[in-house]
């Protein structure tokens, strides 16, 4: 006989229940202080760059786009001030991604989630949306009260809500609008967009980014960081004991006592913690956590709790930075009566810096020395070789010439390899015999059909390497490529 077991008995109390947890809405309180000022400054800088960069002009000469930063998809070009990249140079972006990733690791090993707290677009736009919300609906308490109120809405409240969402949508729309400007000449596109002459795809992208900005910064907010973003998990795995994170210095803070009682106990010469349990750090937190519970995945380390706590400490006449950038090592050292030590320079940060320097150095070097003239050669596959009436052998090649510079070039093509060879380019009557000359227009590629002919008796080998040299006859710049000359 089976004994009846209640499945609920098999599960401990904590585990039982749905995996889904409803969001508890966060009402961050306004705060002022050092980190708030840093955040305002960085927000102004980041948004300023994002919104206005497409309008910065850069003179590249006649016929070339005059936009400093432009992703020209139809013509497959990327412009960044004095740099112009072609699709085949996509490895510069790979390098940039490597540098970005390692820079993220470096930030993390020095000061924790600097990216998350100050620079991440999700943080910046959420912060901006909170600022709008605060301006219109009031600070934390008022917003909580208004949301909790069950009274029928008055006109004032409705107009507040309408105004808030209108401003949010306006910001979101501007965000989407700035995005498309990176892909087209900004002033022209703006003119087209406002007169409803713009391309459909531009409106679609503005729509998509308006929607994502509005939803992510207006509604999703800290949930993006907590549930959607992989970085908190990776960061937790990458951090080490020396990394400075936003930390509640419990060695100083515990035991928590009220202001009055603390004063009394101190008067009696007893050891009392500085934390007065005012919950200001929780009130200002944009992710709604309590930093005093220690390092947490939800914490984006924006430093606002530091400001909040500093303000309280100033009021009650205790030293600042009860919450600050610190680590457990120093907390333990202080507990043991030793002076804290900060190790910014250590193996990890040196390695990260070295990787950044190496990859960045290689990128800068290759960018500075890259050739603006290039040649690719492709041997005909069918037929591989042709016998001519006098018995000599001819091979045909498709030659692609790349002129990445901003001016037209006149180039000459030479080939080295089989004995007594002659070179001919279809459609090109050479001024100098056996040395075809071609004009390649600025910023473009030219495809040519090139024929190499050589007497069979002088070239008995089945396959002979042949090297093609392309020389800019004005500047002397040379590019070359190797293929084979094949006998039938």
Query: Which spans of this chain sit near another protein (rule: CB under 8 A)?
Result: 4-7, 380-383, 386-391, 394, 396, 426-427, 446-447, 449, 451
Q: Which is nearer to another protein, 243 or 440 (CB)?
A: 440
CB of 54 to another protein, least distance (A): 31
Query: Taking a C-beta distance cutoff of 8 angstroms, is the pair 119, 211 a contact?
Result: no
Q: Which is nearer to another protein, 101 or 384 (CB)?
A: 384
Q: Which is nearer to another protein, 271 or 382 (CB)?
A: 382
CB of 389 to another protein, least distance (A): 4
Q: Which is nearer to another protein, 260 or 381 (CB)?
A: 381
CB of 394 to another protein, least distance (A): 6
CB of 214 to another protein, least distance (A): 29
CB atoms closer than 10 angstroms to residue 150: 4
Q: Which is nearer to another protein, 354 or 439 (CB)?
A: 439
Q: How many CA atoms are closer than 13 Å to the CA of 27, on its beta-carbon side?
A: 13
Tokens of 293: 């519970």
Backbone angles phi, psi at 302, to 5 degrees: -85, -10
CB of 452 to another protein, least distance (A): 10
CB of 118 to another protein, least distance (A): 44
Backbone angles phi, psi at 45, to 5 degrees: -65, -50
Distance from first CA to last CA of the chain, Å, rounded? 87
For β-strands 444-454 and 393-403, DSSP reports them as antiparallel
Q: Which is nearer to another protein, 112 or 417 (CB)?
A: 417
Q: Which is nearer to another protein, 118 or 468 (CB)?
A: 468
CB of 178 to another protein, least distance (A): 33
Short-list 46, 217, 40, 226, CA closest to 129: 217
Sign of the four-CA dihedral 376, 382, 384, 390? negative
**How many whole angstroms separate alpha carbon 130 and alpha carbon 150?**
23
DSSP 274: S
Q: Which helix (H) or strand (E) holds 38?
A: helix 34-52
CB of 383 to another protein, least distance (A): 4
CB of 446 to another protein, least distance (A): 7
72: left (phi over 0), alpha (psi -120 to 50) or beta: beta
Q: How many residues does the chain have?
A: 488
17: left (phi over 0), alpha (psi -120 to 50) or beta: left
CB of 450 to another protein, least distance (A): 10
Backbone angles phi, psi at 325, to 5 degrees: -75, 110
Distance from chain centroid for Cα 256: 42
Task: Determine the angle formed by the axes of helices 200-215 and 186-194, rounding to 10 degrees.
Answer: 90
> Is residue 215 reached through a cis peptide bond, with omega within 30 degrees of 0 on the bond before it?
no
Query: Taking a C-beta distance cutoff of 8 angstroms, is the pair 269, 353 a contact?
Result: no
CB of 358 to another protein, least distance (A): 43
Q: Which is nearer to another protein, 314 or 426 (CB)?
A: 426
Short-list 176, 47, 179, 53, CA closest to 124: 47
Q: Which is nearer to another protein, 305 or 450 (CB)?
A: 450
Residue labelled with tokens 């910046």: 124
DSSP-based three-state secondary structure for 375: strand
Q: Which is nearer to another protein, 276 or 396 (CB)?
A: 396
Q: Which is nearer to another protein, 24 or 381 (CB)?
A: 381
For β-strands 393-403 and 386-387, DSSP reports them as antiparallel
């Amino acid at each position: 006989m089976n004994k009846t077991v209640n499945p609920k008995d098999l599960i401990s109390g904590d585990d039982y229940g749905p995996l889904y947890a409803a969001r508890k809405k966060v009402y961050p309180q306004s705060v002022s202080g050092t980190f708030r000022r840093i955040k305002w400054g960085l927000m102004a800088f980041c948004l300023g760059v994002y919104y206005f960069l497409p309008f910065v002009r850069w003179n590249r000469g006649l016929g070339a786009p005059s936009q400093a930063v432009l992703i020209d998809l139809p013509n497959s070009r990327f412009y960044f001030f004095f740099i112009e990249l072609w699709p085949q140079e996509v490895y510069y972006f790979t390098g940039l991604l490597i540098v970005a990733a390692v820079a993220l690791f470096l930030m993390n090993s020095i000061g924790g989630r600097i990216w998350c707290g100050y620079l991440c677009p999700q943080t910046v736009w959420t912060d901006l949306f909170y600022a709008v919300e605060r301006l219109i609906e009031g600070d934390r308490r008022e917003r909580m009260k208004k949301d909790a109120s069950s009274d029928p809405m008055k006109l004032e409240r409705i107009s507040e809500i309408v105004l808030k969402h209108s401003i949010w949508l306006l910001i979101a729309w501007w965000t989407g609008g700035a995005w498309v400007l990176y892909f087209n000449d900004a002033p022209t596109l703006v003119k087209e967009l406002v007169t409803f002459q713009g391309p459909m795809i531009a409106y679609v992208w503005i729509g998509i980014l308006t929607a994502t900005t509005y939803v992510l910064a207006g509604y999703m907010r800290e949930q993006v960081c907590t549930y959607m973003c992989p970085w908190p998990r990776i960061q937790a795995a990458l951090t080490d004991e020396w990394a400075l994170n936003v930390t509640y210095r419990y060695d100083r803070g515990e035991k928590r006592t009220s202001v009055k009682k603390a004063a009394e106990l101190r008067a009696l010469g007893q050891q009392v913690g500085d934390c007065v349990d005012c919950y200001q750090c929780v009130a200002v937190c944009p992710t709604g956590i309590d930093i005093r519970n220690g390092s947490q995945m939800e914490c984006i380390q924006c430093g606002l709790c530091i400001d909040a706590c500093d303000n309280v400490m100033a009021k009650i006449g205790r030293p600042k930075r009860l919450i600050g950038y610190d680590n457990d090592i120093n907390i333990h050292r202080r507990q043991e009566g030793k002076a804290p030590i900060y190790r910014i320079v250590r193996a990890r940060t040196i390695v990260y810096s070295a990787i950044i320097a190496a990859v960045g150095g290689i990128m800068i070097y290759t960018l500075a020395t890259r050739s603006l003239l290039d040649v690719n050669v492709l041997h005909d596959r069918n037929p591989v070789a042709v016998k001519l009436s006098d018995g000599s052998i001819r091979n045909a090649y498709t030659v692609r010439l790349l002129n990445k510079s901003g001016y037209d070039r006149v180039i000459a093509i030479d080939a080295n390899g089989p004995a007594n060879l002659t070179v001919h380019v279809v459609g090109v009557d050479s001024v100098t015999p056996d040395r075809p000359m071609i004009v390649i227009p600025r910023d473009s590629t030219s495809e040519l059909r090139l024929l190499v002919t050589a007497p069979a008796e002088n070239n008995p080998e089945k396959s002979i390497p042949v090297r093609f040299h392309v020389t800019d006859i004005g500047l002397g710049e040379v590019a070359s490529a190797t293929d084979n000359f094949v006998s039938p």
